[in-house]
Chains A and B, each alone.
Chain A
């Protein structure tokens, strides 16, 4: 198996006023195959966005390692990190706040090429035109500013910017969450087309389980900083083992009116990640919790080939 990214025991802790520690990401490990899509799904405070930022070192990690083709990103100095970032890019949720409102589309798309001294002059303009074609934006709009585009078009600019440096890995952080559903489907298809054309590897971070299940090869479910279950997509769809994964599925929108009111809802609020419950973080909301769950955090176990879960039931 051709592994692009090997992540081991990554942690990102924030020290808060008054000595409290927020363990946003707490011991996350996974392998990511070249050309594959890893979906990361969870609700507010699960650490999915912090995980993405930490892997790109937009946040400095507290512990762990992330090997990109065998080189630990967490050990790189400034110059090496800048070079490594050519290989990994990010697409953000809000296509408005992630684009500079004072720069035209072409200036936004040229910027990575300028920073990394890729090309200049006519060649650079040609590259920008090509990027716009690739993401389905009309070249004639190159001098327009972000506010002159619709939300879907702005997200296309964000995608084109991520593609500008020909990266291998793209982290999509809630990249389709802010879009209308008909536009969301267009952007999902675009991401899949681009993956096929360029052999891209994705980490697709989202709160919407059905979107993650559509786009991913492997899925990682997070709750309060930790992975509770991870498995190949088809395996997870067939067997959702962790009670939190089941709860997330039961709460996700479906199109079958016959199931109305028949699905189980887990009680309680999401606990604060500053002070997560002892033992298994999910135990206060879990319908199957026992005394053991209140005391010890369960070890991650392989319950079927490639299917891991951290739950005392298994």
Chain B
């Protein structure tokens, strides 16, 4: 294994479309991003921005039909995942790239004890004996902070709280001896806030201890602030801004990013304020979307050119880019 900072995953110009009766939904429409070793990239955005479809594309879990990855490259370490056959992909999934989801109850099998579900990782991928796999499962439960793991290993999922179930999912995701990438899709969205804080602490702590790289998908800017080294902001299938976390928060350039940060009541600017600065309108129907900027119909800066073509990348700094025709316009709304 090589050093921190080396690129582990690189997604280039990914296009994932869904062919529906109402037309072609370009759920991911030319998105690129990369995750470096032992670091965390957050994909942030609201419903329909394409963040979950991007994650499922990496895992090659897009239901087809109606979905299809129509173009792009997904490079993990030195392999192009889109070129692998199904058997090769199965050896990557779970073993080198793991995924955890929002609702841990639906991701766990309700009729098997959790120890067996974690141990399956070892019996399937490593050919380990059940007794040995059970011992490893107990170790992993301890690693993710489950009290009395030697007892809990025999529990069924319904006997655990939501937070404990998510810990079990994380244990399963890290069961591999060589976890390369953890994809976490809204891992704390279904949890209470004090439990969310515990799970985020756990993910940060595990990253430090075992060096796993994390691709975190969230709608919650607060989670981004807690977790991300880098952030990509998605809107309606497009990446509109990407930066280091602090840069994005202190100098957001895209009108959508600004609007998103302004929509959050926790924004310190709202202390004592009477109203929030909200973004008007709602997300457009992806099936009818043209080639322009998808934010055009809600954007305070939009002009005719925005409807015609999606802007090219504009570098704000070496680590900060924005995709907007008018991001540097003097009338841009400030934070």
CB of B227 to closest CB in A, whole Å: 8
Determine whether B107 belongs to the interface, using a CB cutoff of 8 Å to chain A.
Answer: no
Q: Could you tell me if B46 and A189 are in contact, using CB atoms closer than 8 angstroms?
A: no
A180 in complex: contacting residue of B161, B219, B276, CB < 8 Å: B219
> What does DSSP make chain A's interface, helix, strand, loop or mixed?
helix
If A251-B197, A266-B194 touch, whether A188 touches B221 (CB-CB below 8 Å) is no
What is the chain A residue whose CB lies nearest that of B273?
A214
> What does DSSP make chain B's interface, helix, strand, loop or mixed?
helix
Q: Could you tell me if A181 and B264 are in contact, using CB atoms closer than 8 angstroms?
A: yes
A254 in complex: contacting residue of B195, B222, B279, B282, CB < 8 Å: B222
Number of residue pairs A-B, CB distance < 8 angstroms? 124
The B227-276 residues at the A interface (CB cut-off 8 A) are 227, 245-246, 249, 259-268, 270, 273-276
Q: Could you tell me if B222 and A265 are in contact, using CB atoms closer than 8 angstroms?
A: no
The segment from A59-67, A74-82, A97-105, A205-213 found at the interface with B is A205-213
| Residue-wise interface mask of A (232-268) relative to B, using a CB-CB cutoff of 8 A (1 in contact, 0 not) | 0000000000000001101111111100110101110
A260 in complex: contacting residue of B221, B225, B268, CB < 8 Å: B225
Tell me which residues across on chain A come within 8 A of B219, comparing CB atoms: 180-181
Q: Give the docked Cα–Cα distance between A254 and B266 (Å).
A: 6
Q: Give the docked Cα–Cα distance between A267 and B161 (Å).
A: 14
| Residue-wise interface mask of A (166-209) relative to B, using a CB-CB cutoff of 8 A (1 in contact, 0 not) | 00000000000000111111101100100000000000000111
| Residue-wise interface mask of A (123-141) relative to B, using a CB-CB cutoff of 8 A (1 in contact, 0 not) | 0000000000000000000
- How big is the B interface, by class? 35 or more
Tell me which residues across on chain A come within 8 A of B266, comparing CB atoms: 210, 252-255
B270 in complex: contacting residue of A44, A181, A214, A252, CB < 8 Å: A214
Q: Could you tell me if B222 and A255 are in contact, using CB atoms closer than 8 angstroms?
A: yes
Q: Could you tell me if B249 and A255 are in contact, using CB atoms closer than 8 angstroms?
A: yes
Determine whether B148 belongs to the interface, using a CB cutoff of 8 Å to chain A.
Answer: no
Q: Give the docked Cα–Cα distance between A153 and B280 (Å).
A: 12
Q: Could you tell me if A250 and B278 are in contact, using CB atoms closer than 8 angstroms?
A: no
- How big is the A interface, by class? 35 or more
Tell me which residues across on chain B come within 8 A of A251, comparing CB atoms: 193-194, 196-197
Tell me which residues across on chain B come within 8 A of A247, comparing CB atoms: 194
Q: Could you tell me if B193 and A255 are in contact, using CB atoms closer than 8 angstroms?
A: no
Q: Give the docked Cα–Cα distance between A213 and B161 (Å).
A: 28
Determine whether A22 belongs to the interface, using a CB cutoff of 8 Å to chain B.
Answer: no
Tell me which residues across on chain A come within 8 A of B274, comparing CB atoms: 192
Determine whether B212 belongs to the interface, using a CB cutoff of 8 Å to chain A.
Answer: no
Determine whether A291 belongs to the interface, using a CB cutoff of 8 Å to chain B.
Answer: no
6 closest residue pairs by CB, A with B: A253-B222, A185-B278, A210-B266, A185-B263, A214-B265, A251-B197
Using a CB–CB cutoff of 8 Å, the interface residues on chain A facing chain B are 43-44, 150-153, 180-186, 188-189, 192, 207-211, 213-215, 247-248, 250-257, 260-261, 263, 265-267, 269-270, 285
Contacts A/B (CB < 8 Å), 15 sampled: A43-B193, A43-B194, A43-B195, A44-B192, A181-B264, A182-B259, A182-B279, A189-B275, A208-B193, A214-B276, A248-B193, A253-B223, A253-B226, A255-B267, A261-B226
